């Protein structure tokens, strides 16, 4: 079976119960610039990968495994995998 090329994004964010001082600093800076409509901000990271695989399901499973073992800290962070 031929392998397809997929674009994968892994979005990693701090868990809701984890304090995010960078996010708080962003809110303060935006409010000082008169962007007062912003109520919350959280800083995370996004990892873009180009992956080959036989199916979207296979690539999603492999990327999820990568996110659990290397790309995120499961104690402090949540992640989401998007395969295109």
* pLDDT tens digits for range 41-52: 999 999 999 999
Among 11, 78, 3, 6, smallest CA distance to 49 is for 6
* pLDDT tens digits for range 18-33: 999 999 999 999 999 9
pTM higher than 0.85 for the full model? yes
Based on DSSP, count helices (H) and strands (E) in the chain, helices before strands. 2, 3
* pLDDT tens digits for range 50-70: 999 999 999 999 999 999 999
């Amino acid at each position: 079976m031929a392998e397809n090329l997929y674009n994968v994004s892994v979005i990693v964010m701090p868990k809701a119960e984890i304090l995010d001082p960078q996010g708080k600093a962003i809110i303060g800076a935006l409010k000082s610039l008169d962007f007062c409509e912003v109520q919350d901000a959280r800083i995370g990271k996004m990892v873009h990968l180009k992956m080959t695989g036989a199916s979207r399901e296979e690539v999603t499973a492999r990327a999820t495994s990568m996110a659990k073992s290397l790309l995120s800290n499961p104690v402090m962070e949540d992640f989401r995998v998007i395969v295109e």
